[in-house]
A and B are shown apart, each in its own frame.
Chain A
Amino acid sequence: MSQAQEDEAYVLHSRPWRETSLLLEVITANHGRLGLVARGARRGKGQAGVLQAFHFLQLRWSPRGELHTLIGAEEIEPLRLPASILPAALYLNELLLNLLARHDECGPVYSIYHHALRRLQAAAALEPVLRDFELDLLDALGFGLTLDKECLDGAAVDPGLWYLYQPRQGLIKIPETVENAMLGHICLAIAARDWSDSATRRAAKRLLRRVLDVHLGQRALRTRELLRGLARMQQRKDRASVEDHGSEASSPQ
């Protein structure tokens, strides 16, 4: 019987397990991503209310094989995300669950996630939070994007020229625009995380989606589909309220 371990953690996902238990996927500050079984959590006085996604908890578990056994959970601080933010927050969780394996060392990913959730809770604009998270996550996993230099010769990006980002390689200067090409000033704005311009936000969303898809392989993210559906409804709402104003509502992921 090994020693109990303890760490602070966020629940990424919680699902029913056997008759009365829960299977939790969590990300911890120092032990990476873990799978934990909370025995009896769905019985009468169980802790199902606390053991939910986005809850910030101090956890104790006894390690064993692939799935550890949860022995204690206490909420460190209540984190309540409004329902309208939850789909985007679930997108962060889905990315982590797809890009980290259980027991993976994940270094700074925990604090990147912690920071992103705090910003969402503080009602920060959605898109910059998601883009920063995606860029930080790719960095932390060793797939960081270099967007201020060309990948072949390291030449500085010229704001007025066209570039194409090749996943796993980097920026390549191209003579004229093609599909997915970006102007140098957009590349530089993304590198500087300057999200003030909507053209930069749109380009970054497309770029990151392309890069993430390479790492996700064949797995389609189900939260994207949900966010797209919600964005369509938002668009319809906006059209109804301001018929003539050219408002732009696209899904944030």
Chain B
Amino acid sequence: MSITPLLEQLIEALRCQPGVGPRSASRIAFHLLERDRHKALHLAEILRQAVERLGHCEQCRNFSETPLCSICSDPRRQSDLLCVVENPAQLAAMDHAIHFRGRYHVLMGRLSPLDGIGPEELGMDRLEQRLREGEIKEMVLAISPSVEGEVTAHYISEMAHPFGVRVTRLAQGVPMGGELESLDSGTLTRAFELRREY
């Protein structure tokens, strides 16, 4: 099968997704064109609508089709308890797994100056503004324990200091079903440091 200019453009366009190389891109392109033209049109339409209509919630920065997302505008949610997550996927996981009834703030990343991501890129001023408004009493940091995660957590806790907000962080340690001997030393050290009464 010869590659026409349009097909070449489609393959190139599919490669914009993370983890999609030239081979997977052509596989996807052939599949969409040969087997699933209807779904391909549907995908194109949904993608266009999503890009046009999905913005960020002005309060928590999560994806939202309205200025205020459904969580931020839900009056049954506690407004004095805030959980800070890195991305929408973590928010969904947290909200699904635990019966958290507070609100969220979505950073959309972690502070990583070496990747060009600073406080400005993460909209830290927006979070500071929420703290300044004075309603929040406790802020739970649900941030991954990597170097960038540590820097992010440190930055946010420094920022929260003048507002007298209680800052907590998700415990770190042994995962459920984890074998102790297969843990790396960092995880094991954390688990030991954060041990508690039994």
Contacts and interface: CB of A to CB of B under 8 A. Distances in A.
Interface of A: 13, 15-16, 18-19, 45, 47, 49-50, 52-54, 75, 78, 80, 83-84, 86-87, 90, 93-94, 97, 221-223, 225-226, 229-230, 233-234, 236-237, 240
Given A53-B147, A94-B113, A225 B118 contact: yes
A50 B19 contact: no
B115 interface: yes
Given A50-B184, A90-B113, A80 B161 contact: no
B48 to A, nearest CB: 26
A86 B119 contact: no
Contact of B162 (A90, A97, A236): A236
B18 interface: yes
Interface in B57-116: 111, 113-116
Interface in B13-58: 18-19, 21
A21 B158 CA distance: 33
B186 A49 contact: yes
Closest A-B pairs by Cβ, 10 of them: A19-B19, A222-B113, A83-B154, A49-B184, A83-B150, A223-B113, A233-B158, A53-B147, A226-B113, A86-B151
B159 interface: yes
B113 A233 contact: no
B129 interface: no
21 contacts: A49-B184, A49-B187, A54-B147, A75-B184, A75-B185, A78-B185, A80-B186, A83-B150, A83-B151, A86-B147, A87-B151, A90-B113, A94-B113, A94-B114, A222-B114, A222-B116, A225-B113, A225-B118, A226-B111, A230-B158, A234-B158
Given A50-B186, A86-B154, 11 more contacts: A13-B114, A18-B19, A52-B147, A54-B147, A78-B185, A90-B114, A222-B117, A222-B118, A225-B118, A226-B119, A226-B151
Main SS of chain B's interface residues?
helix
Interface residues on B, range: 20 to 34
B2 interface: no
A82 to B, nearest CB: 9
A75 B184 CA distance: 9
B191 to A, nearest CB: 12
A59 to B, nearest CB: 15
Contacts of A240: 162
The winner among A19, A222, A236 for most chain B CB atoms within 10 A is A222
Contacts of A226: 111, 113, 118-119, 151, 155
Contacts of A78: 185-186, 189
A237 B161 contact: yes
B161 A233 contact: yes
Given A50-B186, A86-B151, A15 B19 contact: no
A48 B114 CA distance: 18
